[in-house]
Every structure is written in C-alpha cells, then in structure tokens.
A = this chain, B = another copy of it.
C-alpha cells in the first residue's frame, strides 16, 4: 500500500485522446491514476494534439464505436466502476451514446445506493461561444438528469439553466435552476469572474485577478448549499485545465465521501445530511484540495513555459514569410504552455492547502433563495 493515495476507486473515463500533450482523457487518466484510481479510458476522439494549436490530424469515434466499446466491457463483465467521468464527445449522437452508458451503469447499481456516481462535464463552449454543433445542447440537456455531479463553466451553466449570469443573484439562480431542472444533486461552476458581476449583499468580491469556483450540494428540500473558493488567476492560457479539475474532483470527492461518515458512501448520490453546512460538504472539502493541486501544477507549468520560451530558437533554413514566422511562434508558445504533469505528481498527491472555502451568506442570495 502506498501513502498519499485516495481510497481505491474504479473510474470509467470517457473523453478525448491526444497523442501529444495533456487534455481530455490524456490529462484525466494520468491525474486520477497518480492519485491511485484504477482508470478505464474510453476515448471519443483520437487526435494528434489539442485544438488550441489551431491544426491537428486524427479521427473521431462514432456513436456506434463508443457503444461497441462499452458493449465489449459488458460482455466480459468489466463494468465494476465506482465512478464515471464523462467529458468531450464529438457529436450529439456521441453524447447520447455516452448518456446511454451512464444510464446503464446507474441502473446496474440501483440496488446498491452510492455504489456508482456519474460526474458529467458538459463540454459545449466557453466565453459566450458554443464550440460544438447546436444539436449537442439538447443532447446534454437530455442526459444531465442522470448525472450526480455536473461541472459546467460559466457559459455552460447559462446554457443549461437558461439564465444569463450577470450578478451574484443570477449566479445563484442558475445553480438553483440546474439543481431543479435536472434533479442533479451536485453542481460546481468551474470558473466565474466574480468581479465582473454586479454585487449585492455584504460579502466583498475578490480582486480582479482572481477566479471563483462556486459549488453546491442540494438539501433534501432541493435548496442549494452554496460555497465559494477564490483563487488567483495565472497570467497564461493553459489547455486541459477543465479536465484536470474534473479528474482531481473525482479522486478527492471519492476520498472526502469515504472519510465523511454518515454512511455517505452507501447513500444515493453521496448527498450529505441537511445538517452538514455548505463549507463542510465533501464537495467543498474536495474542491479546496483540487484547486490547491491545480494551482501548484500550473505555477510550475508557467515557470517551465517561461524557461522554454527563453531559449533561443534555432534559425530556420530559408526565409520565412511574416505569416509563417507568426505561425511558428504561435505553435511554439502553445507547446510551451502544455501542462507539466509527470514531474509534478507530488503536488497532485500531497497538495499544500492554500485556499479557503467560504459560505455564501444568506443575505448575499436573492430573497426567494434565502
């Protein structure tokens, strides 16, 4: 037995694969494995690199291919998963296939409450823009009611809730709506620029260079238990951070739920008793560890990136046009920002806790949510 590992957790991870770099399953698999989870990776695309390079080659799995791989597992009794983490799927039909897998695993576990938990990352878009086909949105809306935890970013939360997030009040409304519309007991909105929202109540917003993660687990009456963690934003764009967040959350939530008592692990959807305060939720406790690990890995990545970009580039044979030179520079900068995982597993396993979880005070919420 090794120290610093989370309790044994068998995860089916359904997301994209890239040959080079770390996004999708190529991020999530290693992150969860490093923390001691047994991971079965079902890959929905096979690309040479992530799309942030603006060019890539490879193939997408069809909905049928995704279903077939799962049928392969079923026929050999290889479906003893504790958790499914589902991420990017390349079409509406593929999202439906993934949904069918999640629903089947939920049904198989029906007689053993808490024995299976589905974490759904509804990958649809970011920064106000869809980057999937329009028909993927209703596909996600159809499968979301079967998930236990859903991890939208701010834009995806707007899409799922139908509420434009412009203030703390509308943020709380959106989370409440996601709980209600999809009966999904746990929600984390993975990245909100809180200082941009209009404020209300007495809790001050964080400074401008901070991001906020907002989470909630429902009470038995369906009302949200909202918590918030503010983290300093790093001045660099990294690909795959959503996948790192989701993967760490799987491992840390499994750990926190096992440690929680109350027979929580054998409770449907791992929903804590009403008496547990927002900041004491396993979801909140997990989030602090997740964000602490992520921040350390990304700080180190930024150092490595800066060192890599400081090295002089060997001259190219022959003249490059301005456009060719710009492309070459862009590719180099994108490569330099690939998240550095394999030399930094210690901070994944043993994060130095550097963030605080805060309750949303009642007076910060709109009257009908207090």
Interface residues of A (CB under 8 A from B): 1-2, 5, 8, 12, 17, 19-21, 26, 29-30, 33, 36-43, 46-49, 53, 55-59, 61, 65, 68-73, 75-78, 328, 331-332, 334-335, 341-346
Contact status B72-A49, CB under 8 Å: yes
Contact status B76-A53, CB under 8 Å: yes
Main secondary structure of the interface of A (DSSP, over half): mixed
Q: A343-B1, A344-B2 are in contact. Are A68 and B57 (CB under 8 A)?
A: yes
Query: Which residue from B20, B43, B69, B346 sits with its C-beta under 8 Å from A78?
Result: B20
Contact status B49-A343, CB under 8 Å: no
Contact status A48-B36, CB under 8 Å: no
In whole angstroms, what is the CA distance A2 to B46 when docked? Answer: 31
Which chain B residues lie closer than 8 Å to A343 at the CB level? 1-2, 5, 8, 36
Which chain B residues lie closer than 8 Å to A17 at the CB level? 17, 41, 43
Shortest Cβ distance from A37 into B: residue: B342
Contact status A47-B72, CB under 8 Å: yes
Having A19-B72, A47-B72, one finds 20 other A-B pairs with CB under 8 Å, namely A2-B343, A2-B346, A5-B343, A17-B17, A17-B43, A19-B41, A21-B40, A33-B342, A36-B343, A46-B46, A46-B65, A47-B69, A49-B73, A55-B72, A57-B68, A57-B71, A57-B75, A58-B68, A76-B335, A77-B331
